[in-house]
Amino acid sequence: MNKKIIIISMIFILTFLMNLGYLNAQIDIGTTKQGDCITLYQSCPTCTYSDIRAIKYPNGTIDNSMDWTMIKNNSDYTYSFCSTNDLGEYKYIVYGDKGGLSYESTEEGVFEVTVNGKTLQISESIIYILLSLFTIGLFSLFLYLGMKTKWEDKTNIAGFIVKINKSKYLKLLYLWFASGFFVWSVQILALIINSYIELDSARNFITDIFIYSGRLSVGITVLFLMLFIIFLWKDIVMSEEIKRYGRSLTKKR
């Protein structure tokens, strides 16, 4: 008698835990880009219908006024949701008659909306942070080298150039590298901020810096190339003058 009671009790507890697990089940459908539509999903082989009755937005607002019928495809139920303007985690509640039950059972689905539709994992974040520090270090190094490298040509007492300083081309190269690593570090920083920080002003600020610095980098590259060509041509002409006359024909300005 006692064994039967124990067996019945265990069956009852297991049934209760299984139902509780189902009621608290959560479907994670991943991440989508801000403003894009995402397919809400539920799988229920024994359901004859499945409806979405509530949506919880990232700001905590719960909208339970809807009654959206999900589209059935064999045992899968889907619904296209497009109100993804807010960044953060969304939750949706699905109702269905699992197993032909006379009462409705529920499942909870969750998804996340980010600026670029991607979410960095902790390991990825560590890599990006280290890479960001590395690029900032290279930016600082090349900027320092560019500022310290001498630009001026050697002149005599009268102010005429007697020797061409070729290190000016290294100075241009250092500064060009510094601008490139600056844009790269801002790009990495923008990715990290867009994935973790929900403050719109911070995200927009970093994104704007990245966009404008990216456009500026093209102009800087063209400028450095033009300066390189101009100074190379002038130095070639001046070198011929120094070879012939021992100095440039014009004084340094």
Q: What is the DSSP letter of 251?
A: B
Q: Is the pTM of this model over 0.75?
A: no
- Distances in whole angstroms, Cα of residue 208 to Cα of each of 50, 184, 187, 214: 43, 14, 11, 10
pLDDT recorded at residue 18? 43
User: What's the chain's length in residues?
Assistant: 253
pLDDT recorded at residue 206? 66
Q: Which residues contact 81 (CB under 8 A, 6 or more apart)?
A: 37, 38, 39, 40, 55, 92
User: 87: which 2 tokens?
Assistant: 């960044």
Per the CB < 8 A criterion, the answer to whether 45 and 59 are in contact is no
Amino acid identity of residue 3, one-letter, is: K
User: 179: which 2 tokens?
Assistant: 């601008």
Per the CB < 8 A criterion, the answer to whether 146 and 175 are in contact is yes
**Pairing outcome for strands 50-56 and 88-96:** antiparallel
pLDDT recorded at residue 132? 83
pLDDT in tens, the chain (253 residues): 455 555 555 544 444 444 434 444 568 888 888 889 999 988 888 888 888 888 999 888 888 887 888 998 888 899 999 988 887 889 998 888 877 665 566 788 899 887 777 766 667 777 878 888 899 999 999 999 999 988 888 888 877 888 888 888 889 899 999 988 888 887 777 767 666 655 556 666 766 766 777 777 788 888 889 988 998 898 888 888 888 888 777 766 5
